[in-house]
Structure 1
Amino acid sequence: MSSIEELKHLQISLQDISDATNNFAKENCIGLGGYGKVYKGESEKYGTIAVKRLSRNREEHSQGDREFKTEIALLSNYKHENIATLLGYCDEDGEKILVYKHESQGSLDKHLKSADLTWTQRLKICLDAAHGLKYLHHDVAPEHRTMHRDVKSANILLDENWKAKISDFGLSKEGPANVHSSFVISNACGTLGYIDPEYFYSGKLTPKSDVFSFGVVLFEVLCGRPAYVKVDRQFFFSWVQKHYKRQTLNTIIHSSLLEHSNLGSLLRFSTIAYQCLMNGEERPTMKKVIEQLQKALDHQLAPSRPWSHDDDYAALHQRQSRCVFPVKLLFFTLI
């Protein structure tokens, strides 16, 4: 990982950022988080930009100097179509600012409830994000891999063509690659509702911790609701797990998807999403997740009848499981 001293070429002056955002004008503020505010700006050199301005009061935000430097060092080395593009940074006059390419459709969490976002679009967005996570887990370098630690729909950005990009790497950790069952001990962090319970209680961070969080995102996409909102006084992931086991997912799937979605696609998608939430060793890798999501997309694009409200979900779920899933996974599908 590059040190920030090696990345001076990425520095952008505070004056240039101020000019691009009209001196951080209120009307240009497009986001607010624990770290501070995000502004939209127009730069002569970079075009439309997103400016993350960390709060100057260090007690008010969760990202400090270490996270600021981590994000710069990591994103300056990551080149992938499904990873957010860092254009530069500013560390001047007490300001710590990160500058990204602006993605015009914003973050995925803003679109979960939308009836206009079709099932095909949702599948492609999930596939894009999965490719981004696979890159982190397997392809960033031969000697190490990266665990994101804060995978959630709010950290998946969408460009003008609805292509997804993983963002917000301030909490990310690197670990050794190609070592069986390797893990990193760290204080559990992330966003409640998305954090892997095993990581939360043990502090053992592995790529499978991200897989759990991504499984939560998959169910957010399927159900059209954010995971940070508890349901029936329980975490969202516990709620969807119960519905999956009872084979009643059809009662909580986003209503606009049921009439226009291929049955096989929905079943394959929900099965891989559920497997992401299983115990750590039983969870799939991101390579396996991509394989199953691609098959879900292939089912959706194939000529076949859509879901019907008259369908018996339990019977169809079992029949589909027997037909298309490996015998090894059948037990997990039917419990």
Structure 2
Amino acid sequence: MSFLGEFDHLKIKLQDVKLATDDFGRTKLIGRGGFGQVYKGELSLPNGRKMVAFKRLDRRLGQGNPEFYKEIMMLSKYKHENLVSLMHYCIEDDEMILVYEYASRGSLDRYIGDANLTWSQRLKICVGVARALNFLHDPTETHQRLIHRDIKSSNILLDDKWTPKVSDFGLSKAGPANQLHTYVFSNAVGTPGYCDPLYFETGFLSKESDVYSFGVVLFELMCGKMCFEYQNGRLTQILVNNWRKCYEENRLDEIVFRDIKKQMQSDSLSTFSRVAYRCINKSREERPTMAEVVKELEIALEQQVSFVVKSLNLFINELKRRHNIYIYIYIYRRFIRILKRKQI
């Protein structure tokens, strides 16, 4: 394709891809999605060898050339610390492969029900994703507004520091940068449970559709459950309406993830749940902008961190009062290690 000329510097040979992935060997397979299978492998780059992820197009799954080219163009144009980085691509023989930075912890959906992912970590992940979406939705002189159209926990990747990276832009839609609102008419695409019902019913897409999908992810992290349930390989239930109803009837306690409930500072949970509920409002006009979501989530994170620090200080003061200096030193060192790992 002639329009890919400006991206020639990103092109690599199929031989290099096969060498890095052991010819797409099973031991290198790390995931599957609507685009195709994903492999990991090391590439020799100017600054040394680096682990990367290879996404191999499988046309039998429904996506094809348009999604492939869109991914290249979008990720080359939109740069943000919470967006996955496109490093290379390969078009050779019948293969079309995208090469991304490697997210060592995989996708967020793997950790939704894992109590080892703390409430503080969940808040930080949410703040990062919200900032990325705000960047896409708030056009500047250098880029158009971009509506992702498929925000879900499996499209949020995590690196070794738990930094979230929004991925999979094959279904995204761009809109003009000089308008307050962007409405695009298109065939509804997305994933059941996450897809904005209004978009699904009418075909009218707006940035509020991404807000809805992100709200579903917020509820997943708060409830410790995916938004859908499957039995025998078939979708049996979508939980979003039940989550919305529980919030409206002040029954949030029934759905909050019990395994991490004790970690949640009440104000932090209240702030978080309130903005999550607004995101999944049935009315687009009632949903917040991503700028508002970022602000509210940052407040929820600040409330949680303040609570953790205050609780630890009270505990240390009690130890000091009892003159138990050895336990005090142990707790202090452990606290410093936690801070370094950014887990509060």
TM-score normalised by L of structure 1: 0.86
2: distance between equivalents of 1:136 and 1:11? 25
2: distance between equivalents of 1:108 and 1:143? 27
2: distance between equivalents of 1:234 and 1:160? 33
Q: In structure 2, the residue corresponding to 1:259 is in which secondary structure? A: helix
- Alpha-carbon distance, 1:257 to partner: 1.9
Residue deviations 1:195-218, cap 9 Å, x none?
000111111111100000000000
**How many residues are paired up?**
302
- What residue ranges of structure 1 are gaps of 5+ in the alignment? 307-335
Indicate the residue corresponding to 1:97 in structure 2.
Answer: 97
Structure 1 contact 147–206 (Cα < 8 Å) conserved: yes
- Alpha-carbon distance, 1:191 to partner: 0.6
Alignment root-mean-square deviation, CA:
1.9
Structure 1 contact 230–236 (Cα < 8 Å) conserved: no
1: distance between equivalents of 2:140 and 2:51? 27
**Is residue 123 from structure 1 mapped to residue 129 from structure 2 by the alignment?**
no
- Alpha-carbon distance, 1:140 to partner: 5.8
2: distance between equivalents of 1:166 and 1:252? 26
- Alpha-carbon distance, 1:246 to partner: 1.2
Q: In structure 1, the residue corresponding to 2:117 is in which secondary structure? A: coil
Indicate the residue corresponding to 2:295 in structure 1.
Answer: 291
Indicate the residue corresponding to 2:319 in structure 1.
Answer: none
- Alpha-carbon distance, 1:301 to partner: 1.3
Residue deviations 1:56-96, cap 9 Å, x none?
xx3x2121100000000100112110000100111110101
Q: In structure 1, the residue corresponding to 2:296 is in which secondary structure? A: helix
- Alpha-carbon distance, 1:43 to partner: 1.2
Structure 2 contact 78–143 (Cα < 8 Å) conserved: no
Q: How is 1:237-276 mapped onto 2 (pairs within 5 angstroms)?
A: 237-276=240-279
Structure 1 contact 140–146 (Cα < 8 Å) conserved: no
Which of 1 and 2 has greater Rg? Answer: 2
Q: Provide the identity percentage.
A: 47
**Is residue 302 from structure 1 mapped to residue 284 from structure 2 by the alignment?**
no
The answer to which of 20-29 and 180-189 deviates more is: 180-189
**Is residue 155 from structure 1 mapped to residue 158 from structure 2 by the alignment?**
no
Q: In structure 1, the residue corresponding to 2:256 is in which secondary structure? A: coil
The answer to which of 136-145 and 176-185 deviates more is: 136-145
Q: In structure 2, the residue corresponding to 1:44 is in which secondary structure? A: strand
Task: Evaluate the alpha carbon distance shift between residue 6 and residue 124 of structure 1 in structure 2; reply closer, same or farther with a 3 A threshold.
Answer: same
Structure 2 letter corresponding to 1:40 = K
The answer to which of 120-129 and 225-234 deviates more is: 225-234
Q: In structure 2, the residue corresponding to 1:181 is in which secondary structure? A: coil
- Alpha-carbon distance, 1:133 to partner: 0.5
2: distance between equivalents of 1:29 and 1:122? 27
Structure 1 contact 143–178 (Cα < 8 Å) conserved: no
The answer to which of 38-47 and 112-121 deviates more is: 38-47
1: distance between equivalents of 2:266 and 2:131? 24
Q: In structure 2, the residue corresponding to 1:179 is in which secondary structure? A: coil
TM-score normalised by L of structure 2: 0.84
- Alpha-carbon distance, 1:109 to partner: 0.3
Structure 2 letter corresponding to 1:270 = S
- Alpha-carbon distance, 1:229 to partner: 2.2
Q: How is 1:219-230 mapped onto 2 (pairs within 5 angstroms)?
A: 219-229=219-229
Structure 2 contact 224–257 (Cα < 8 Å) conserved: yes
2: distance between equivalents of 1:234 and 1:35? 25
- Alpha-carbon distance, 1:234 to partner: 4.4
Indicate the residue corresponding to 1:88 in structure 2.
Answer: 88
Structure 2 letter corresponding to 1:299 = Q
Task: Evaluate the alpha carbon distance shift between residue 242 and residue 233 of structure 1 in structure 2; reply closer, same or farther with a 3 A threshold.
Answer: farther
Structure 1 contact 3–73 (Cα < 8 Å) conserved: no
- Alpha-carbon distance, 1:298 to partner: 1.0
The answer to which of 139-148 and 93-102 deviates more is: 139-148
Structure 1 contact 211–276 (Cα < 8 Å) conserved: yes
